[in-house]
């Protein structure tokens, strides 16, 4: 009886907070020492104390084993954190996984949207006129004169454009000339008041000036003298600098969504961001909704929104799966206006974001 009382008192001491980790470690050491010095089959007060302590502690631990569901949750967490305790690196948790096919979304939205990868474009591109477009605005974005677009497309004047119309956009201010029989570099230069050397250099022609009938060549700074065109507000720049010449408005535009930013400019100063379908899209700045079109292919844009901002710039949000704001409404900066999708000409869920009249904050 006395022995049992002593055992209980010692166990109480061991389990007290004052005993702590180091006390337990000391007991283990003493147990190993005594075990080597006492013969087997000869229980002692000390061995009985340790035995009872181990039994009670084991019962307590078993009583607190998490149920299978909790264990599964713990296992899942460990797997998601790079394998805790396995030496694996920690990884962040992505709330919206990016679809695999979203990484294909850097393709141009339509055949009208040819990638511009160099500092100076040398090819003729095509642009499909959108609702609310002005020729002066298009010319400004591409860094060429209004006259150049009028001449290239044989337009009557700057007001002779309409939505859906496909325009040829020269790479520089000047004239696009279709080579005919008996044409020479000298005769073309004389016709448009241009420099022969510039025509050869820009079109990478042989120094001999050999031309192929039916080819289109660009005549930098050329002028169609027989057609008078008002040039008010037109650009006098002779080169297109891939929209880099546009004003940088700093923080005026916020980033309109989250995801992988391809950073490559294509189309009319557009950049793609890829993420899961349904990812929120926000207004980059305060603006009026000039277009909110949730029906049709729309030249490759699919469901899209165009905002007009107080400073004269525009932003366009294409390929949405759902539009959350209507035409003629007002959007505040940061307001959710659409959900990301893959409508129109698209190979994966992404936002095609264009800025007209200023630099695109997504461009790298």
Sign of the Cα torsion 23, 28, 32, 38 reads: positive
Distances from the Cα of 120 to the Cα of 78, 124, 187, 195, 360, angstroms: 51, 12, 26, 19, 17
Q: In sequence order, what are the residues at sequence separation of 6 or more whose Cβ sits closer than 8 angstroms to the Cβ of residue 350?
A: 102, 105, 259, 272, 273, 274, 275, 319, 340, 342
Q: Is residue 229 part of a domain?
A: no
Q: Is residue 239 part of a domain?
A: no
Q: Is residue 140 part of a domain?
A: yes
Contact 254, 282 (CB under 8 A): yes
Looking at the fold, whether 7 and 55 belong to one and the same domain comes out as yes
Q: Is residue 112 part of a domain?
A: no
Q: Residue 145 belongs to a domain with what CATH number?
A: 3.10.350.10
> Using CA atoms, how far apart are residues 100 and 36, in angstroms rounded to an integer?
64
Structural domain of 200: 125-220
Looking at the fold, whether 253 and 351 belong to one and the same domain comes out as yes
Show which of 69, 93, 117 is a domain's final residue: 93
Q: Is residue 235 part of a domain?
A: no
Number of separate domains in the chain:
3
Q: Is residue 120 part of a domain?
A: no
Looking at the fold, whether 253 and 345 belong to one and the same domain comes out as yes
Q: Residue 286 belongs to a domain with what CATH number?
A: 2.70.70.10
Low-confidence stretches of the chain (pLDDT beneath 50): 2, 37-42, 54-55, 57-119, 228-240
Looking at the fold, whether 61 and 149 belong to one and the same domain comes out as no
Looking at the fold, whether 340 and 257 belong to one and the same domain comes out as yes
Q: Is residue 3 part of a domain?
A: yes
Radius of gyration of the chain (CA): 37
| The two structure tokens encoding residue 354 | 């264009």
Show which of 39, 69, 93 is a domain's final residue: 93
> Using CA atoms, how far apart are residues 157 and 303, in angstroms rounded to an integer?
31
> Using CA atoms, how far apart are residues 152 and 162, in angstroms rounded to an integer?
16
Looking at the fold, whether 132 and 214 belong to one and the same domain comes out as yes
Q: Is residue 225 part of a domain?
A: no
């Amino acid at each position: 009886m006395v022995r049992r009382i002593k055992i209980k008192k010692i166990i109480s001491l061991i389990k007290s907070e004052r005993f702590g980790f180091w006390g337990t470690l000391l007991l283990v050491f003493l147990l190993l020492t005594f075990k080597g010095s006492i013969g087997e089959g000869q229980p002692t007060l000390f061995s009985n104390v340790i035995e009872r302590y181990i039994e009670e502690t084991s019962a307590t631990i078993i009583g607190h084993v998490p149920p299978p569901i909790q264990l599964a949750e713990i296992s899942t967490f460990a797997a998601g954190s790079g394998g805790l305790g396995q030496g694996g690196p920690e990884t962040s948790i992505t709330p919206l996984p990016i679809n695999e096919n979203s990484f294909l979304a850097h393709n141009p939205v339509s055949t009208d949207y040819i990638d511009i990868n160099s500092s100076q474009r040398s090819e003729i591109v095509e642009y499909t006129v959108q609702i609310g477009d002005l020729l002066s605005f298009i010319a400004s974005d591409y860094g060429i004169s209004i006259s150049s677009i009028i001449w290239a497309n044989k337009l009557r004047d700057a007001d002779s454009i309409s939505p859906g119309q496909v325009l040829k956009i020269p790479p520089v201010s000047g004239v696009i000339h279709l080579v005919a029989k008996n044409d020479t570099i000298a005769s073309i230069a004389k016709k448009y008041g241009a420099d022969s050397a510039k025509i050869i250099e820009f079109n990478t022609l042989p120094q001999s000036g050999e031309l192929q009938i039916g080819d289109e060549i660009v005549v930098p700074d050329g002028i169609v003298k027989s057609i008078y065109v008002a040039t008010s507000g037109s650009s006098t720049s002779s080169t297109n600098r891939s929209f880099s010449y546009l004003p940088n408005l700093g923080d005026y535009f916020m980033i309109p969504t989250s995801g992988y930013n391809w950073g490559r400019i294509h189309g009319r100063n557009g950049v793609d961001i890829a993420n899961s379908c349904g990812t929120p899209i926000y207004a980059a700045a305060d603006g009026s909704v000039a277009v909110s079109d949730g029906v049709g292919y729309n030249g490759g844009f699919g469901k899209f929104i165009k905002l007009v901002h107080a400073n004269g710039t525009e932003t366009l949000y294409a390929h949405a799966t759902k539009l959350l704001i209507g035409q003629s409404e007002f959007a505040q900066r940061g307001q959710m206006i659409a959900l990301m999708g893959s409508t129109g000409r698209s190979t994966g869920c992404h936002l095609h974001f264009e800025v007209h009249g200023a630099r695109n904050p997504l461009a790298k």
